[in-house]
Amino acid sequence: MKMLRLLLALVAILAVSAAISAQAPMPDDNTLVIAQSVDIDGWEPSEVNSRPEANMINHVFATLYEITETGVLEPNLASGISYSEDGKEITFTMHEGLTCHDGEPLTAEDVAYTFNRAGDDANGFTGNTAGFVFDSAGFIRAEAVSELDVTIFVERFQSVNHGLLSEVFIHCKDSYEAMSLEEAAQSPIGSGPYKYVEWVPDSHTLMEKFEDFLPREAGFDRLVWRVIPEASTRVAELIAGNVDIISNVVPDQADAVNMSGVAEVQAVQGTRRMYVGLNQREQYNDSEGGRAIKDSAVRVALQYAVDVPTICATLLGTECDRMKSMVNPPNDNPNLEAYPYDPVKAGELLDAAGYPADDDGARFHIVFQAGSGRYLNDANVVQAISQYLTDVGVIVDLQMMDWSSEFVPALRQHNVGPLYFVGTGGGTWNAQYDMADISTPTGATNYTEWSNPEWFALRETLADPSLTAEETQDIVNAMLEVMYNDPPWLFLYFQPDFYGVSNRVDWQARRDEKVIVYKAQLAM
């Protein structure tokens, strides 16, 4: 009789769950249509797991401050910020007269509630806020000290805390206290420039302008976020005029877009740092290659073996500067020069390090692991790198893995390599944000377990709130020089990002992978 019950349930649910969902609206003078490759998993503002999710959430929920495209922190819901003397208490002052989308006034109490709810272990949140921001900032708790002032308590002073805490999406207290986690994931009540209207999973989301949003003026009345997984289909919809902005254009399809006369491709130098990790863990000592890259001289030699500019020009469809350290310009060390492509020198350095080529030109064998489908043209890039390394005698055994189910779990446990291909998100607003990847020798994101003592000694000295900006930069520069000479990574490039933008829209792509469209307007 289970069958019968299942059947009944089937009919009942079909009847009930049939929310009235129309098709995705088409672009018009008041409607902007954006297409991304993946959909949001749910609308919980404290559980955002990916960039495409953040892009959508970011229009429904506002943050305290906002990082502009030039890397400046601008007031958003908050109008000001102040620190206690030891830098461990950060007080944000809110704008007056803010409301959430259901009309509930938005005050300091709501901000404190947002932070404490996100940090509450009982909710089990694991997204960007609880899993990254709070850990990195050393968040303890939040407290409303007056109608408009909210204080965030953290474990230690860091100059990046301001920006980190500005990644938290703010919502109101009464509405979220009244909802279960399931309800919150289905029906968001936001605080941002656009109001959630409808979500048809894997098809589209509809948002409408929230007229009472004070900090910013939004452009289009309606936003439609479509989900189109296949890159060619996205481009076809853009050229056909059914979509205004698409992300992740394949570089080789850029010409087709530009020649359509309907849309143009915007290529921006992104902030994601792409590199080949040189895993230093003991477990790789069993292999020839694992032993070889323990030697700092070998790691330097490999930097000369890969022709990064050619990879950019051919496989990524744009000129790009080679990465010279883990920090995005302009916050990096200006005195460092990116390693040039010089296979002869790479060979000489490998000879000198004690790895001469045998009769077949082979010096040592090494395993190179990579996921596929995550980064721009990644499958081709890793094959090209393998070829370059093999050409200087480092015989690469390239192992492609499924990104989410194989590669990521191994990466998290620092079990990839000895060579592996990864890109880590960065920012333009603070060098230390970029350097947070290597916080301790066994830190979660220090996947190579690189343990250079100089680096970590210098890092200690940064936790001093009395340092001036110049003094901080000097320490940063010194650290980056240490890393340059004893590289844990084979430095590649900052990943360029390609957006397709309809000619009818005036919109500028950003470098940090964020798609923020409330400023977009009809082209004149």
Shortest Cβ 115–other proteins spacing (Å)? 17
Residue 521, amino acid = Q
Residue 315 Cβ vs other proteins, minimum distance, rounded to whole Å: 7
Of 285-314, binders to other proteins (CB under 8 A) are 307, 310-311, 314
**H or E element at residue 116:** helix 108-119
Minimum CB distance to other proteins, residue 93 (Å): 29
Q: Give the residue, chosen from 360, 413, 453, 460, that forms a contact with other proteins under the rule CB under 8 A.
A: 413
Distance CA 490, CA 277 (A): 6
Nearer to other proteins among residue 149 and residue 378 (C-beta)? 378
Query: Considering the rule CB under 8 A, would residue 524 count as an interface residue with other proteins?
Result: no
Sheet-wide strand order for 149-154: 78-83, 89-94, 149-154, 139-144
Query: Can you tell me whether residue 495 is helix, strand or coil?
Result: strand
Q: Residue 251 and residue 313: Cα distance in Å, rounded? A: 10
What is the four-CA torsion angle of 335, 341, 343, 345, rounded to 10 degrees?
A: -20
Of the residues 70, 187, 373, 521, which one makes contact with other proteins according to CB under 8 A: 373
Q: Residues 445-474: x/- map of binding to other proteins (CB under 8 A)?
A: x-----------------------------
Q: Identify the CA nearest to 219 among candidates 507, 510, 485, 472.
A: 507
Query: Does 318 sit near other proteins (CB under 8 A)?
Result: no
128 binds other proteins (CB under 8 A): yes
Please report which residue ranges of 286-421 form alpha helices under DSSP H.
288-292, 296-303, 308-315, 343-352, 378-391, 408-412
Which residues, 45 to 74, sit near other proteins by CB under 8 A?
A: 49
Q: Which residues, other chains included, contact 355 with Cβ-Cβ below 8 Å and sequence gap of 6+?
A: 292, 298, 363, 364, 393
Nearer to other proteins, 336 or 408 (CB): 408
* Residue range at the interface with other proteins (CB under 8 A); choices 206-214, 225-233, 321-329, 500-508: 225-233
Q: Which of 57, 146, 61 is nearest to 96 (CA)?
A: 146
For residue 233, state whether it binds other proteins (rule: CB under 8 A): yes
**H helix intervals, 392-468:** 408-412, 431-435, 453-460
- Tell whether residue 395 is a contact of other proteins (CB under 8 A): no
**Under rule CB under 8 A, which residues in 464-523 are in contact with other proteins?**
none
Near other proteins by CB under 8 A: residue from 60, 100, 150, 228: 228
Which range binds other proteins by CB under 8 A, 56-64, 141-149, 187-195, 380-388?
A: 380-388
Contact between 387 and other proteins by CB under 8 A: the answer reads: yes
In the region spanning residues 162 to 181, those forming contacts with other proteins, defined by CB under 8 A, are 181
CA separation for the pair 323, 338 (Å, rounded): 6
CB atoms under 10 Å from CB of 459, counted, come to 17
Upstream peptide bond of 465 is cis (omega within 30 degrees of 0): no
- Cβ proximity to other proteins: between 413 and 466 the closer is 413
**Cα distances (Å, whole numbers) of residue 94 to 82, 99, 110, 166, 461:** 12, 12, 11, 13, 33
Q: Which is nearer to other proteins, 178 or 313 (CB)?
A: 313
For residues 182 to 211, the per-residue mask of contacts with other proteins, x marking binding by CB under 8 A and - elsewhere, is x--xx-------------xxxxx-------
Stretch of 17-25, 55-63, 167-175, 503-511 lying at the interface with other proteins (CB under 8 A): 17-25
